[in-house]
Amino acid sequence: MLDEKKIIDRFISYVKIDSQSNANSVATPSTEKQWNIANKLVQDLNDIGLSEVSIDENAYIYATLPSNIKKKCPTIGFISHFDTSPDFSGTNIKPQIVKNYNGGDIVLNKTKNIILSSEYFSEIKQYIGQTIITTDGNTLLGSDDKAGVCEIISAMEFLINNPDIKHGDIKIGFTPDEEIGRGAHKFDVAKFGADWAYTMDGSQIGELEYENFNAASAIIKIKGRIVHPGYAKGKLVNSMYYASKFISMVPLDETPEKTEGYEGFYHLTSIKGLVEQTELQYIVRDHDLNKFKNRKAFLINLIKKLNKEFDQNIFEIKIADQYFNMKEKVEPHMHIVDIAEKAMKALNIKPLIKPIRGGTDGSQLSYMGLPCPNIFAGGHNFHGKYEYLPVNSMMSAIKVICKVCEITTDYKNTI
């Protein structure tokens, strides 16, 4: 039996370590504080008895659970990231444990009147009667993706302590900087040595994903001209007014809050403005590659149109691709998705096979030669104060990992 209290304690010990990444840093890891949890994870992997535990100069962690069977079977891997999002505070995290959840609102912070609303976040009602771990309303929780890290380590410990469960060689990988899109950039696929892998980085129980967004960033700079406002007629150019013109011409019904499923979007993530220059930062997302290309072309053509309209080069744009849909790399090897689906069904977990409205390390790793679908880790409402993790979902994810390892022993071919 899995030791629920031990696993909760392990998870809480991880989330209490501040390990936010920073997109403005060029170092790897992007923040020194990520070394704090990285070193702890190395110690924990050694303590439970894994082999070949190592950490490189960039804080990428690798380990192996050797096979306990004589026959040859595929070598598979499990991967999670230990950084947390810079979108919201990750300092001084104080998790709260709500036992026997009653289906109503959860008070996260009485002093500040911060409520986890069961009406607004209605998905929480599926966890009535369960234990739920929440924030205290001041920080994110960090279940993205320390739940995945905890689940992988706990699953490996369970397999070590229960040698009657047969498995082949299992590879473990933990990465920094996933939240800023760099988690796979320095991952050593050859050293990892798996035929395929799974990221434990999904959300609600049952999620199984092998499709994700094609993704790009777009930075738009708008040039103005500063002149004393008392003498500005015909001279001053306020870049912020021109920026608002641009924003109004990007389809407002194609934003994250207006889309779902396979629908792509433009997402304005930052505005920095003064009279003389304004900078807009967008992310562009679409599952369909042609639609993705069209979205990028739309922004470029909009810039050209506005420069022509104002008869001067006020606008400039820089677009950079970030990652691509892993579907192209996973579909030729659908047995790896089938194995995960079979594992969930064997545990009476309903598989929820759907596209990721985001990206994971797995999307980049799939293009690096390591097909890598994504399995649920259990958390909800990532990157903010309303994040929560049902404990049963975490326990179920651990069981799925173990079952995937067991089922894979009956699969004879590698990729």
Of 18, 83, 144, 177, which is the active-site residue? 83
Proportion of the chain above pLDDT 70, given as a percent: 100
Smallest CA-to-CA distance from 200 within 39, 81, 336 is with 81
Domain limits, CATH 3.30.70.360, in the chain:
214-323
The Cα 85–Cα 179 span in angstroms is: 5
CB 264 within 8 A of CB 290: no
Instruction: Using only the alpha carbons of the chain, give its radius of gyration.
Output: 23
Q: What is the mean pLDDT of residues 230-240?
A: 93
Which pLDDT does position 411 carry in this prediction? 85
Domain limits, CATH 3.40.630.10, in the chain:
4-212+325-408
Distance of CA 31 to CAs 41, 85, 173, Å? 17, 12, 19
pLDDT bin (cut points 50, 70, 90) of residue 412 is confident
Residue 1 pLDDT > 90, yes or no? no
The Cα 163–Cα 140 span in angstroms is: 37
| 3-class DSSP string for 110-162 | CCCCEEECCCCCHHHHHHCCCCEEECCCCCCCCHHHHHHHHHHHHHHHHHHHC
Pairing between β-strand 207-209 and β-strand 374-376 as defined by DSSP bridges: antiparallel
Looking at the structure, give the CATH architecture of the domain made up of residues 4-212+325-408: 3-Layer(aba) Sandwich (3.40)
The Cα 383–Cα 393 span in angstroms is: 19
214-323: CATH number: 3.30.70.360
Which pLDDT does position 288 carry in this prediction? 96
pLDDT bin (cut points 50, 70, 90) of residue 395 is very high
Which pLDDT does position 121 carry in this prediction? 97
**Token digits of residue 176:** 């920094």
Q: What is the mean pLDDT of residues 402-413?
A: 92
Does 260 qualify as catalytic in the annotation?
no
pLDDT bin (cut points 50, 70, 90) of residue 58 is very high
Does 178 qualify as catalytic in the annotation?
yes
CB 149 within 8 A of CB 41: yes
CB 307 within 8 A of CB 313: yes
Which pLDDT does position 104 carry in this prediction? 97
Of 178, 195, 201, 341, which is the active-site residue? 178
Which pLDDT does position 310 carry in this prediction? 87
CB 276 within 8 A of CB 224: yes
The Cα 192–Cα 195 span in angstroms is: 9
**What is the per-residue pLDDT across 180-202, written as a single tens digit (0 to 9) for each?**
989 999 999 999 999 999 999 99
